[in-house]
A = this chain, B = another copy of it.
Amino acid sequence: MLSFYLIPLDIEMSHQPSILPLVEQWEAFVKAKAGTTVDDFAKWILLKEKPESIPTKNTTPFYDPLLQEAQLQGDYPAIPTSQGLAIHIVIRLFKAIRFYFKPTLQKHGFKSLEEFLFLATLSWKNNISKKTLCRTNMTDIPTGIDIIKRLIQQGLVGEQENPEDKREKLLLATDLGKQKLFQLFSDPEGSADVMADMNTEERLIFMRMIDRLNNFHTKVYHQQIDDR
Contact status of A43 and B41, CB under 8 A, knowing A73-B212, A124-B78, A217-B194: no
Chain B residues positioned under 8 Å from A99 (CB to CB)? 138, 221, 224-225
Contact status of A82 and B194, CB under 8 A, knowing A53-B199, A93-B90: no
Chain B residues positioned under 8 Å from A42 (CB to CB)? 41-43, 45-46
Range for the number of chain A residues in contact with chain B? 35 or more
Check A37 for interface membership: any CB of B closer than 8 A: yes
Chain B residues positioned under 8 Å from A107 (CB to CB)? none
Cβ B50 vs Cβ A195 within 8 A: no
* Bitwise interface map of A from 178 to 199 toward B, beta carbon under 8 Å scored 1, else 0: 0000000000000111111111
Cβ B195 vs Cβ A72 within 8 A: no
Cβ A214 vs Cβ B93 within 8 A: yes
Cβ A17 vs Cβ B45 within 8 A: no
**Complex: A42 Cα to B50 Cα, angstroms:** 14
Check A152 for interface membership: any CB of B closer than 8 A: no
* Bitwise interface map of A from 97 to 133 toward B, beta carbon under 8 Å scored 1, else 0: 1110001000000000100010011011000000000
A interface residues with partner B (beta carbon < 8 Å): 9-13, 16-17, 19, 21-23, 25-26, 30, 35-39, 41-43, 45-47, 49-50, 52-54, 56, 66-67, 69-70, 72-75, 77-78, 82-87, 89-99, 103, 113, 117, 120-121, 123-124, 137-139, 191-218, 220-221, 224-225, 228
